[in-house]
A = this chain, B = another copy of it.
């Protein structure tokens, strides 16, 4: 069999055909800076950015397209949301299931004694009860940071219930959608989120170098930009403009990447998020049932499709998982990822620290045949 790619939680390798076309269309026909020059090609580059902003605003139900900010990956977006809003004395609530792109910015502010952080411990399947968040709130709590789904166990978090709590206490609410945008409906207004960070190159099917965030107007007023510079606006001022989106978008945009991302979002809208999820869950059901039949395998996390995205972590007794991942690649052309997946506290929570797990993350372009083939490979290797 040809290559089987099961590392979609890192980057989607197979994307909609339109994404490749859009990248090339920009490169061959436009290939210049948007919003800087007044010539036709520069205006066309500007329209790409505008269209992409509109598509993403529609996808996440954000009222004003200016609330969509592009960054170069979701890590930048998360750093901007976290470091730009927190001041000395603030308290933050997050969970042990977060990625290092959330933990490391928080840890560095903690280490400087600027903030205090409660890392709410999730259960052994990575699950969080909303009331755990509520119980941790104090009068210094400025921000709640929560991933929509774990990148290790796939566990879905109660983002809507936590949004209600954040709104009730008037606390800024940041949701990390790295593992769900493009597969799950995300309604920014309804979630009562202030900051929804998204990645471009995973299920949204954009190329690398894309991502960003949606931000509430309230948080946008208070959030300080981490990066300042040329915006092509208010160029008479040596100070950053204070309006959206320019306040948070400095320097030449990755217009080539954003045109690819726009095409990815178009594909998702045309295909329908529900249809994408239905297909992925059909594959996930087969995979999960198959995994359960292999006695050597222990599934880490819910092992229940209602409680997780189609990302599965396993251990296999005393088998070295790096070696197992290597053999899957080397003998079967199956691409997976072993280790700690940049989420050490999640692995501690799931009792897979420090050895980690072997992760299989499914995507829309995977097929039933590939899933069966992978299960067979596992049976042969174990």
The closest CB in chain B to the CB of A322 belongs to: B38
Q: Contacts A36-B10, A229-B79 known; A27 to B104 CB distance under 8 Å?
A: no
Nearest residue, chain B, Cβ from A71: B72
A304 within 8 A of B: no
Please report the C-alpha to C-alpha distance between residue A32 and residue B83 in the assembled complex, in whole angstroms: 28
Residues B329 and A38 in contact, CB atoms below 8 Å apart: yes
Encode A185-216 as 1/0 by CB contact (under 8 A) with B: 00000000000000101000001111000000
Report whether A336 and B39 are in contact in the complex, using a CB–CB cutoff of 8 Å.
Answer: yes
Question: Within 8 Å CB of A229, what residues of B?
Answer: 75, 78-79, 99-102, 104-105, 342
Query: Is the CB–CB distance between B207 and A75 below 8 Å?
Result: no
* CB of A34, distance to nearest CB on chain B (Å): 9
Known A-B contacts A27-B207, A104-B238, A252-B11; the reply to A337 vs B36 at CB < 8 A is: yes
Closest B residue to A339 using CB positions: B235
The closest CB in chain B to the CB of A78 belongs to B229
The chain B residue sitting closest to A200, CB to CB, is B252
Complex Cα–Cα for A76 and B235 (A): 18
Q: B335 near A37 (CB under 8 angstroms)?
A: yes
Q: Are B32 and A7 in contact (CB under 8 A)?
A: yes
Report Cα–Cα, A37/B31, bound state, in Å. 32
Q: Mark A333-364, 1 if CB is under 8 A from B, else 0.
A: 00111111111110000000110000000000
Q: How far is the CA of A5 from the CA of B37 in the complex (A)?
A: 11
A201 touching B13, Cβ below 8 Å: no
- Is A254 on the interface with B (CB-CB < 8 A)? yes
Query: Which one, B15, B254, B342, contacts A254 given CB within 8 A?
Result: B254
- List, in ascending order, chain B residues with CB within 8 A of A224's CB: 108
A155, CB-defined interface residue at 8 Å = no
Q: Give the interface centre of A235, A250, A252 by most chain B CB atoms within 10 Å.
A: A252
Q: Is A143 part of the binding interface, using a Cβ–Cβ cutoff of 8 Å?
A: no
Bound CA span A36–B340, Å: 10
Asked if A24 is at the interface (CB within 8 A of a chain B CB), the reply is: yes
Q: Does A268 touch B at the CB level, under 8 Å? A: no
- Name the distance in Å between A330's Cβ and chain B's nearest Cβ: 8
Q: How many copies does the complex hold?
A: 2
- List of B residues within 8 angstroms of A338 by Cβ: 38
B340 near A72 with CB under 8 A, answer no
> A294-312 vs B: 1/0 string, CB under 8 Å?
0000000000000000000
Contact B344 A236 (CB under 8 A): yes
Known contacts A38-B338, A329-B38, A337-B37, A32 near B11 by CB under 8 Å? yes
Complex contact B235–A341 (CB within 8 A): yes
A315 located at the interface, meaning its Cβ lies under 8 Å from any Cβ of chain B in the complex:
no
| A329 close to B32 (CB less than 8 A) | no
Q: Which B residues touch A256, using CB under 8 A?
A: 23, 207-209, 257
What residues of chain B lie closer than 8 Å to A228, measured between beta carbons? 79, 100-101, 104-105, 107-108
Query: A335 near B41 (CB under 8 angstroms)?
Result: yes
> Cβ of B79 and Cβ of A226 under 8 Å apart?
yes
Identify which of B13, B36, B38, B238 contacts A107 (C-beta below 8 A): B238
Q: Bound state CA distance, A41 and B73, in angstroms?
A: 20
B-contact bits for A1-37, CB 8 A (1 contact / 0 none): 0010101001101110000100110011001110011
A293 at the interface (CB under 8 A from B): no
A74 interface contact, C-beta 8 A: yes
A241 to B102, CA, bound (A): 15
* Most chain B CB inside 10 Å of its own CB: which residue of A23, A322, A342: A342
Query: With the chains together, A236 CA to B36 CA distance in Å?
Result: 43
User: Chain A, 102-129, contact with B by CB distance < 8 Å: what is the 0/1 string?
Assistant: 1111011001000000000000000000
